[in-house]
Amino acid sequence: MTLGVPIVVLQYDQLPHFNVTNLKSSTQSIQVDSDSDQPFLSTRSISTYPTLPGGEKDGDPIADKLFVQVHKNRAVLAIADGCNWGKRPAMAARDAIAAFAEYFNERQNEINTLQDAGHFLLRAFCEAHNKIVEGKPDIWEAGTTTLLGGLVLEFEQQQQQPSSSSSSNKDENGEEVISNGSGSSNGNGNGNGSGSSGNQSSPKWGFLCASVGDCKAFLVSHKRKEATDVTNGNRCNLSDTRDPGGRLGPYVGQGWPDLRNLKLYFTFCEENDIALIVSDGVHDNLDPIMLGKTPDEVNIDAKGWEDLPQDDLLRAKTQFMKSLLEEMIFNNPDEKISPTDITNKIIDHCSTVTKNAREFMQEFPNKKQPNDYREYPGKMDHTTVVAYKIGSGNSSSF
């Protein structure tokens, strides 16, 4: 597979075969579950909803919960976004994050391969669902939540010797390709972890995440000045932001979770890349429709967004989101990006975009928000960002 090009799989045994380095310095790891700024990590969570006459924010309590654990050669990142407002969604998100964190705290030293990591991510999601419904006399009393959990992993380094079966280490665009000489390089899970062809070492870092619902993961490359949607296509319903595509907690059948879009996502990454995970309160404000853009304004040949087939609509939204993120993050080409810079820019963007709608609702609290995204762009929501700088250099900060 090409460096920086994600793959999507339904089962952990479809992931490429790579050995993970042993966990280093767990006793000196850091763990955060609220706003934090470090040289290699920044987390922010706000509400962009209006302030009510009594002084409270509409939609409180914030139903986004986060968890980050950073080791010298590994990081665990997670966001849960409770579905709807109120205490039950917030408790569901809290319980999901707590179970996810506890599961990985107990199993960090058992992750020996990329497939182990994928297996444990899916098991952690099972634990999260069970925790949400635990102890409820009536299972339907529990709330529901989306969940995205990711691992930044360091791989063991192996030298790949040239062989007649090795595939080219450049694609048709001249980009580096991670190939194995004995299988496909298109991300179908047949890799054996031996790295790119020639006398080159295998990739050192990988970003693996599982997602149910509509939180998103991005990879930001400082070297290529590029943002990649690792979870591209995870929101099934592109025309209705109220449908996250899946959730944990009782929702279908006899109280089962909605797993329609539960998938694993993986991409190789490089030192100093930024692993970025966000709730939909962020990426909905990177959506051209929510920003009041017409198709022709973003060079799409269609009279209206509803005229586009779903595949074309996804492609257009993804490209717009990517371009907007890159413009936001790399607006100064000479500036060295940091996790704090990224979270500040994203949070400022979401707050600014939703300003008109928020002020309207504060002035007219008993009225319905106008359905006019040109005059009142964006979507007010609970808005959470986690940005982590990848690299062993983080160990100097412990």
Specify the CATH number for the domain of residue 131: 3.60.40
Q: How many domains does the chain have?
A: 1
* Residue 65 pLDDT class (50, 70, 90 cuts): very high
Q: Does 60 score more than 50 pLDDT?
A: yes
Q: How far apart are CA 3 and CA 78, in angstroms?
A: 23
Q: How far apart are CA 364 and CA 358, in angstroms?
A: 10
Whether 318 maps to a domain, the answer reads no
Whether 367 maps to a domain, the answer reads no
In this structure, what are the phi and psi dihedrals at residue 268, rounded to the nearest 5 degrees?
A: -70, 155
Q: What is the helix, strand, coil percentage profile of the chain, to 5?
A: 30, 25, 45
Question: Ramachandran region of residue 334, left (φ > 0), alpha (ψ -120 to 50) or beta?
Answer: alpha
Whether 222 maps to a domain, the answer reads yes
Strand partners, 151: 76, 208
Whether 242 maps to a domain, the answer reads yes
Q: If residue 256 lies in a helix (H) or strand (E), which one and from where to where?
A: strand 256-258
Q: How far apart are CA 94 and CA 90, in angstroms?
A: 6
Whether 267 maps to a domain, the answer reads yes
Whether 332 maps to a domain, the answer reads no
Residue found by looking up tokens 């990985």 in the block? 104
Question: Ramachandran region of residue 106, left (φ > 0), alpha (ψ -120 to 50) or beta?
Answer: alpha
Q: If residue 252 lies in a helix (H) or strand (E), which one and from where to where?
A: strand 247-252
Strand 247-252 to 256-258 pairing? antiparallel
Whether 13 maps to a domain, the answer reads yes
What is the pLDDT at residue 183?
A: 33
Q: Domain limits at 16? A: 7-157+204-277+382-390
What is the pLDDT at residue 239?
A: 66
**Of 170-184, 187-201, 229-243, which has the strongest mean pLDDT?**
229-243
Q: How far apart are CA 138 and CA 35, in angstroms?
A: 34
**pTM attached to this predicted model:** 0.87
What is the pLDDT at residue 268?
A: 95
Whether 88 maps to a domain, the answer reads yes
Of residues 302 and 336, more confidently modeled: 302
* Residue 297 pLDDT class (50, 70, 90 cuts): very high
Q: Compute the average pLDDT of residues 138-155.
A: 96
What is the pLDDT at residue 201?
A: 64
